[in-house]
Each structure stands twice: as C-alpha cells, then as structure tokens.
Amino acid sequence: MSEIGVFEFKGKRYEFPVEIGTENEISIDIKTLRGTTGGIITMDPGFKNTGSCKSEITFLDGEKGILRHRGYAIEDLTKKASFLEVAYLIIFGELPTKEQFAKFEGDIKKKSLLNEEIKDILDGFPRSAHPMGVVSSLTGALTAFHPKYTDVHSEEEIYNAITNILGKFPVIAAWAHAKNEGTPFNYADNSLGYVENMLMMMYKIPTTKYKTNPVVLKAMEELLILHQDHEQNCSTSTVRLVGSSHASLFASVSAGISALWGPLHGGANKAVIEMLEEIIEDGGDVEKFINKAKDKKDPFRLMGFGHRVYKNFDPRALIIKESADAVLADLGVTDPTLKVAKHLEEVALSDPYFVDRKLFPNVDFYSGIIYRALGIPVEMFTVMFAIGRLPGWIAQWKEMRKNNEPIGRPRQLYMGAPKRDFKEVSER
C-alpha cells in the first residue's frame, strides 16, 4: 500500500507509512515521529487511538459487534469447541488435531498439583482476604516454586510455563475460594475435563459426592470461552507491558490479574450485582437509577453498560444472555436481580442518553447473574473472569515474546514546575 500519513508543523511536512490490517483497519506508523521532528510526541491518554502492537490473535469490530479469534467467530467457538480447544487455538494459532489436543491436555493435567507449601502462604492471608489479591499473589509466587519456567528465552520453558499456569490456576482459584469459605482445599481430579475439574474443586465438600450438572457445565464452558481474549484491553496490555521487560509469564499474568480486578474492567461483573441489589433494596425504582447515571454531577454509572470498543451490542452479552436464561430455568432460580436487569436494559436501550452514546450492555451485565445462580460469591466473580481470560493473557504474552517487542515505555508531557532553586527548610 503506497498511501502515507502526512503531518505538518511549522511549515514542515513529515510523512509516515500507512499500514492496513487483515480487515482493512488503517494505522499510521509514527515510530519515527520523535526522531524526525526533533522531539514531538503524540498525546493519547487511555490509548483510545493508539495501537501498541500488531497481533494475529483476535479481531473485533466494535461498530458491527464482531468478535473473532484467529479468524473463527466467537458464536461458533462457544457452541462447537471446548474451553481448552479454544485456549489451544488462541495460544498456538490453529485448532488442535486430536493428537495435539491430547498432548496439550495431558501436559496441563501433569502440572495440576500445587506445591503443598503454597498452603503456608495461604495461611498468612486473613480469611477475609479478597480472592483476587490472593490469586494474583499466588500466581506471582509460582516464579519462586518453578524458577526454571521463568526463562523467557527458552521455547521449551515457555511451553512448560504455559501448561504449568493453565494446570495450576484453577487450583489456586479454588483454594482462594476455600480460604474465604473455611472449607477444605480440594485437589484436581485428572479424570475430569478442565472446566468440570474447576467446578468440582470449587464446590466439592468431603461429606457429599460431587456431581456435575450438565447445563451448568455447558454454561460455564461457554462463559469462560467468551472471556478468553479481547485484544488489547487493560489487563492484556498490562500483561504485554510487564512481559516486555522480559519478566516471566507468571509475573506478567499476576500483574494482569491486578489490572482485571478494578471495577471499570473485570470487577464490573461484581459491581453489576451490587448495583442490582442496591436498586432492589431501594424499592426497585429503575428510572431513578437511570437518572442518577445520566446526572453528570452524580458519580453513579450503570455498571455493565458501555464499552471502550463496542459501540454496538457486545456479541458476548448476546450469548451470555441465552446462557443465563438456560441456567436459571434449569436450576429453577427465580432471581429478582434478573427482573431488574431486564427492566434496566429495556429502559436504557430506549433512552436517548444511552442510545446517543452507544452504551449497550456488556459481557459483565449477565455473567454476574449466572455466577450468582451457581452460588458463586460475588468476591469470586472476577476470579472466574480471570480463569476465562488466562489463555488470552498467555497467547498475547507469547506473541509479544515471539515478535521480540521492545520494552513498553510511553512518553509524557511534563506540566510541572520549571527549574527552581532548593530552599532550606528554615526558608520555606
């Protein structure tokens, strides 16, 4: 493509190459901007217009509501593939053959035992510790238990780190949950599939036999697939940025978990339920809360609405909505929060404030309702998101290493005091 981007400043003209992506997205490559202009930088807080990398993993079109991984539509992947198959696709680029899948799954299962000393670390946390903090800490702690896998220059050790973290992460999550609940720590059962195993470790208590509900398993598998990757969101960018310093996969993912924790990102699924409960406790006046969300003087926002990229319906929210209905019907749950959620959705989708700003329900709007129906406590909602997002973080970290991307280091515009003389304390 011969097109160029032109920038003019103080009568001088600077040209920059234009690059076109697979789906005709256009980018202006400004790598040489600072050097050629004598120090000019771009300013883009929140990186709303800034591409940080080239990626082959996920395509999403926020205007059209499209999400594809490695070319496959999210609607096909959720209906036709298992969580681990999609993980393989995202991480390695192709859907696995039977043999490739058997090896991958076997390698993950081999790594599903946590070092018993991890229990000593867990002992040090208070019972009330938020599981996201615990999960982030224990994921970082894997660097201490498996130092060999922190070698970011060895393909073999990177593969070991990938299978290790995939094997251990659901156990870490289940143990963080057990710590909160005061229930025994369960171990993986390698005769079960990945998601079934995760559910078993979360719910099994020694006094009763654990039995998987197929409707719940299907919904959970779909839900976790939906969360696997979403290109350069806040936590994924964090993982890539931390990894760009050649920090290990464990350290990078641990940082990603912290980024996901915030209520404007993965923490929104918890915030949605809290908001719905608040509306019910307040008497159920949905319009009142809609008005609060529209009032610029009120910090209240409709949680689960709006998205940085989707300016159309979040395709994941459409799939989740169906799953939520199936799970609630199967479990016979009549959740008053669902009624409020539907009312809220109807009002918001017809209100010019939300319509004009293209604020649609996002993935977190319905996921919290499913988690709640399954009896998962709100503190664990974002941990469930992290279990789902793990393959995406891995894939993005691996791609960043493969492309040998430079260390991430943005610039800034300094707006502080100019040079001034130091004053002794007696003169201040």
Q: Decide: is 368 part of the binding site for ligand ACO (CB under 6 A).
A: no
Residues 6+ apart with CB under 8 A from 325: none
Stretch that binds ligand ACO, among 117-125, 182-190, 258-266, 273-281 (CB under 6 A): 258-266
Q: Decide: is 306 part of the binding site for ligand ACO (CB under 6 A).
A: yes
Among 218, 265, 311, 343, the residue binding ligand ACO under the rule CB under 6 A is 265
Q: Decide: is 361 part of the binding site for ligand ACO (CB under 6 A).
A: no
Q: Decide: is 307 part of the binding site for ligand ACO (CB under 6 A).
A: yes
Among 158, 201, 225, 268, the residue binding ligand ACO under the rule CB under 6 A is 268
Element (H, E) at 17: strand 12-20
Stretch that binds ligand ACO, among 53-61, 157-165, 240-248, 355-363 (CB under 6 A): 355-363
Query: How many residues of this chain interact with ligand ACO, rule: CB under 6 A?
Result: 18
Stretch that binds ligand ACO, among 30-38, 123-131, 163-171, 265-273 (CB under 6 A): 265-273
How is residue 2 written in tokens? 């011969």
Stretch that binds ligand ACO, among 101-109, 133-141, 245-253, 303-311 (CB under 6 A): 303-311
Residues 6+ apart with CB under 8 A from 338: 324, 328, 369
107 an active-site residue?
Answer: no
Distances (CA, A) of 384 to 90, 224, 287: 19, 8, 31
Catalytic residue among 229, 230, 307, 314: 307
CB atoms within 10 A of CB 18: 14
307 an active-site residue?
Answer: yes
Q: What is the largest CA-CA distance in the chain?
A: 79
Question: Whose Cβ is closer to ligand ACO: residue 270's or residue 401's?
Answer: 270
Question: Whose Cβ is closer to ligand ACO: residue 246's or residue 311's?
Answer: 311
Among 140, 167, 170, 304, the residue binding ligand ACO under the rule CB under 6 A is 304
Report the distance separating Cα 223 and Cα 326, nearest Å. 13
Question: Whose Cβ is closer to ligand ACO: residue 96's or residue 267's?
Answer: 267
Q: Is 408 left (phi over 0), alpha (psi -120 to 50) or beta?
A: beta
Q: Which residues of 367-383 are buried (b: 16+ CB within 10 A; e: fewer)?
A: bbbbbbbbebebbbbbb
DSSP state of 305: B
Report the distance separating Cα 13 and Cα 267, nearest Å. 45
Among 161, 165, 219, 293, the residue binding ligand ACO under the rule CB under 6 A is 293
Q: Decide: is 276 part of the binding site for ligand ACO (CB under 6 A).
A: no
Positions annotated as catalytic residues are 307, 364
